[in-house]
Structures are given as C-alpha cells and as structure tokens.
Chain A
C-alpha cells in the first residue's frame, strides 16, 4: 500500500525557516517524481514544487522560487521541502504527492507563519 506521511509543520515567525519531510513507503521511491502542493481557504490548491525521480531536475512555482528547495533522499525514502524566508502568505496545509500527476497524496502538514 502506498503511504506518504508528512511531518515538520508548525508555527514560525515571518522570515523564519522550516523543513517539511514526506516519508514514502509501499512503492519504489527512486522510480517516481515527487511533488509538493499547498492548500489555503482563500487560494485553493496551489502547486509548489516537483523533483524528478533521480533528483536531477526541479521545478518551482514563482511564488516560492529562490526561497524553497525541494530535495529527496533515496536511502531514506524521504522527500523534503526546505522553506526559508517564510512569509505570512505561505501559511497553508502542505501536501506531498507522488509524481507531477498526484496519483497519491499524504495527509498534509500545517505550516503557520505568524508573529
């Protein structure tokens, strides 16, 4: 059974940093691209970033480019999202998803950016 479990969310002040993790199981992690999407009540679902199966290529939404970094550790079957220079508007539930077509989703991790 495919499982994606996010962790690392929480409350952080504007300008701060946070790293999200997504532990994958039930499939060959190294064979799949992986992605992050976020959801807010006001902006709905917003794609954030995707990384190819070998980690060689990454894609970012303009809203996070230069501040967020997606990465993966195949030895740990884990996807990461390093979030720096956080803004109030980054407040959202962050989901990891398998591939850029999101055939599986995690349960989400809430990130709150507030002073």
Chain B
C-alpha cells in the first residue's frame, strides 16, 4: 500500500500568520494521463471532511484563496497564507491513483 506521511501532526498557529503542512507519499502519484492525484481535505470539529484541493493545486469551489497546494511526484505541501479562526481542524492528504486509496495521519491545526 502507498503510505502517506504528514508532518507536523500538530500545528499551533497565530491568527493571521501562515501555516504549512507537508505530505509525502511512498510512491509516485503521477498517473498515466500526466496528472498527479493528490488531494487535501479539511475536517472541522464535529463535521465531515471536505475536499479543499485536488490534483495537487486545484482549489475546489468555494475554497478561500488563502489555501494553496503545491508539489510534485511524492512531495506535497498545503499552505494557508493567513490562518483564520474557521481554519481550525484536522487536515488530511490522500492519494487518488493507487488501490487501496490511502490517507495521511492528519495534521491538527489549532490557534495559539
């Protein structure tokens, strides 16, 4: 199985400051169509997960532009340019190319 490794697992941030989460996969996530199937999800307390980013860097509809994704191959990053209170929650990366689909362990973002 493809192992997705996130870091850090806990991320205390100050409101208005940037935050960055790393995700590494044990295998390449580049599909034969040339796209890289790496997704990012946000799970706010008490809510279902919600997809924020697909194919490394594409924001889903309604996602604020302070969220951005980058990376290639096996190394990916989710950045929040200026953290707001509503960004508190757990963030997961997920690979969408290999079976079984696998998720990272999750990064808990909290306000200092």
Contact = CB atoms under 8 A, between A and B. Distances in A.
A101 B99 contact: no
A45 interface: yes
A27 interface: no
Nearest to B102: A47
B57 interface: no
A5 to B, nearest CB: 11
Interface in B18-42: 37, 39, 41
Contacts of A62: 100
Nearest to B105: A44
Contact of B37 (A45, A46, A50, A101): A101
B89 to A, nearest CB: 13
Interface in A91-109: 95, 100-108
Nearest to A60: B100
Given A102-B49, A103-B51, A45 B106 contact: yes
Interface in B65-88: none
A105 B50 CA distance: 7
A46 B106 CA distance: 12
Given A61-B100, A62-B100, A102 B51 contact: yes
A44 B96 contact: no
Interface residues of B, number: 19
A46 B103 contact: yes
A62 B100 CA distance: 8
Contact of A95 (B39, B49, B102, B106): B49
Contacts of B39: 101-102
A101 B106 contact: no
B3 to A, nearest CB: 13
Interface string A73-107: 00000000000000000000001000011111111
B17 interface: no
Nearest to A101: B96
- Which 4 pairs show the lowest CB-CB distances between chains A and B? A47-B101, A45-B103, A105-B48, A101-B96
